[in-house]
């Protein structure tokens, strides 16, 4: 999903560079998306600091202003960084985005290119959630992004403890943000919503040779997922609902054989049988748990409690 959005963001910029001004409806037609989606993309560019502004009135629309109207090399250093921070995460999985970013990079002045490259690799997007929802954009994200790009050390409070670290990269995991950083005790991972009193110092650092944000995050996720999943269940669910199950269980959702009735075998994992049962209970009979018996027992218990509570004539518990 992010890769598709990054494609659109870059395409929107190039379209405005060509036409000078474009409406959300025109952009939607060109990119084959809804008008609401096109408007959100334009607003995202503007909010990130790209010189894209709406022009009201009958002949209004959105346009690049300043030197960027005729040449994207007219972007300021900060604006170029904002663009690469937005589109950069998709380059890892999209050849089209890689090509577009290379073209944009060549259009930038030489003095901007180093930080633009750093911005493109500062953030990683991991769309598989851990069953958490409703995340707000964390405070301090923008200064942390700049600290990663410019390789400036940071000081902050984490769970009541004063810390110092080298910010190596940021991860957006389905709206929950994490920081991978170097500390005096080695590589550590911090949740941004638990970071307080952030200060970006003027001290610079150099990332370890061969550091890869993708590899580092895969190791973190592997460790966390191993701790989270101590119980596995096999179930049947209509294939059309598989995406919802993936959203609930993240990397602990492994689809298998599709049956003739349109249902698919899936293995899901969580810390306890009760955790799996609680997640699946809202599905009712749509999901059938095959094994283990502990999860089936928990589902039966939840069903009995609901029946006792909501059957007409029964007293409230």
pLDDT at 156: 95
In this prediction the pTM is 0.51
Q: Which candidate, 252, 199, 204, 205, places its Cα nearest to that of 225?
A: 252
Q: How far is CA 213 from the centre of its chain?
A: 14
pLDDT at 35: 85
Q: Cα(84)–Cα(140) distance, rounded to whole angstroms?
A: 19
Strands 61-64, 152-158: pairing kind: unpaired
**Structure confidence by residue, pLDDT tens digits, 167-221:** 998 887 877 889 999 999 899 999 998 999 999 998 999 988 888 888 888 888 8
pLDDT at 70: 44
* Per-residue tokens: 99: 């090509």
Give the pLDDT band (50/70/90) at residue 311: confident
pLDDT at 4: 46
**According to CATH, what is the number of the domain 2-121?**
1.10.10
Mean pLDDT for the chain overall? 77
In this prediction, residues 221-236 reach a mean pLDDT of 80
Residue with tokens 């809804």: 34
Classified as helix, coil or strand, 161 is strand
pLDDT exceeds cutoff 70 at 119 = no
In this prediction, residues 250-279 reach a mean pLDDT of 90
pLDDT at 12: 76
Give the pLDDT band (50/70/90) at residue 128: low
CATH number assigned to the domain with residue range 141-211, chosen from the 4 options 3.90.15, 3.10.450, 2.40.70, 2.30.30? 2.30.30
Q: Which candidate, 295, 307, 179, 315, places its Cα nearest to that of 235?
A: 295
pLDDT at 265: 95
More confident residue, 208 or 7: 208
Give the DSSP letter string of 191-255. Answer: EGGGEEEEEEEEEE--PPTT--HHHHHHHHHHHHHHHH--EEEEEEEEGGGHHHHHHHHGGGEEE
Identical fold between 2-121 and 229-310? no
**Structure confidence by residue, pLDDT tens digits, 47-105:** 666 667 776 666 667 877 654 444 555 555 565 555 655 555 554 555 555 555 555 65
Give the pLDDT band (50/70/90) at residue 238: very high
More confident residue, 89 or 240: 240
Domain ranges of the chain: 2-121, 141-211, 229-310
CATH number assigned to the domain with residue range 229-310, chosen from the 4 options 1.20.120, 3.30.70, 1.20.1440, 1.10.3470? 3.30.70
Lowest average pLDDT, out of 27-31, 113-117, 192-196, goes to: 113-117
pLDDT at 239: 92
Kindly state the helix (H) or strand (E) to which residue 289 belongs, with its residue range. strand 288-291
Give the DSSP letter string of 171-189. Answer: EEETTEEEEEEEETTEEEE
């Amino acid at each position: 999903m992010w890769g598709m959005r990054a494609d659109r963001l870059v395409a929107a910029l190039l379209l405005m560079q060509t036409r000078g001004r474009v409406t959300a409806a025109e952009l939607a037609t060109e990119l084959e998306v809804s008008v609401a989606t096109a408007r959100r993309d334009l607003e995202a560019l503007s909010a990130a600091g790209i010189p894209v502004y709406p022009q009201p009135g009958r002949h209004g629309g959105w346009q690049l202003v300043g030197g960027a109207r005729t040449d994207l090399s007219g972007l300021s250093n900060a604006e170029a960084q904002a663009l690469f921070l937005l589109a950069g995460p998709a380059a890892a999985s999209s050849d089209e985005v890689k090509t577009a970013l290379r073209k944009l990079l060549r259009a930038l002045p030489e003095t901007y290119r180093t930080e633009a490259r750093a911005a493109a690799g500062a953030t990683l997007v991991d769309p598989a959630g851990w069953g958490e929802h409703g995340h707000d954009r964390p405070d301090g994200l923008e200064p942390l992004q700049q600290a990663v790009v410019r390789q400036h050390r940071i000081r902050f409070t984490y769970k009541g403890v004063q810390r110092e670290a080298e910010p190596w990269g940021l991860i957006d995991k389905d709206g929950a943000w994490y920081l991978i950083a170097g500390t005096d005790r080695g590589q550590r991972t911090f949740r941004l919503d638990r970071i307080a009193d952030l200060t970006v110092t003027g001290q610079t650092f150099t990332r370890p040779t061969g550091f890869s944000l993708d590899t580092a995050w895969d190791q973190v996720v592997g460790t966390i997922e191993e701790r989270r999943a101590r119980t596995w269940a096999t179930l049947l669910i209509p294939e059309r609902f598989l995406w919802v199950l993936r959203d609930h269980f993240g990397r602990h959702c492994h689809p298998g054989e599709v049956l003739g009735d349109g249902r698919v075998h899936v293995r899901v994992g969580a810390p306890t049988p009760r955790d799996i049962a609680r997640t699946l209970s809202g599905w009712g009979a749509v999901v059938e748990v095959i094994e283990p018996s502990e999860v089936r027992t928990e589902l039966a218990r939840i069903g009995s409690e609901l029946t006792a509570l909501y059957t007409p004539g029964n007293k409230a518990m």
